[in-house]
């Protein structure tokens, strides 16, 4: 067994270790998700969803490609490991993976 120094990157999670503690980040992965969704030029928001947002299965909006929607949700589920503030909205939007509409996206 050999010492390879401090762990820096593992399964897409960047680890920064110093005297104050360990910080976990997925900055590169989050940027890839933004590119996937076509949101690279969007402004950041303090909250991950609108307050009192109500989504339903009986939507009259335009359907979106279920494969694209499912890929985005799965990517966000992996991002939740280092960003717990988006856990609720990712779980909420996961309910609509079978028949996603534009308002769900």
The whole-angstrom separation of Cα 30 and Cα 76 is 8
Q: What angle (nearest 5°) sits at the alpha carbon of residue 104, between those of residues 76 and 91?
A: 40
Domain total in the chain: 1
Is the residue at 88 inside a domain?
yes
pLDDT of residue 102: 77
Three-state DSSP class for 31?
Answer: helix
Q: What is the mean pLDDT of the chain?
A: 84
pLDDT of residue 41: 86
Is the residue at 103 inside a domain?
no
Is the residue at 53 inside a domain?
yes
Does the structure show a pLDDT above 80 at 74? yes
Domain with 82 in it? 9-96
Is the residue at 81 inside a domain?
yes
Is the residue at 4 inside a domain?
no
pLDDT of residue 40: 86
Average pLDDT of 77-100? 87
């Amino acid at each position: 067994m050999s010492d390879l120094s401090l762990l820096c990157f593992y399964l897409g999670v960047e680890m920064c270790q110093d005297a104050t503690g360990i910080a976990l980040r997925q900055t590169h992965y989050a940027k890839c998700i933004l590119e996937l969704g076509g949101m690279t030029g969007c402004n950041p928001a303090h909250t991950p969803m609108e307050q009192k947002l109500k989504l339903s299965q009986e939507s009259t909006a335009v359907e979106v490609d279920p494969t694209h929607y499912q890929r985005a949700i799965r990517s966000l589920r992996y991002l939740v490991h280092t960003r717990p503030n988006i856990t609720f909205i990712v779980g909420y939007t996961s309910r609509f993976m079978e028949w996603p509409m534009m308002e769900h996206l």
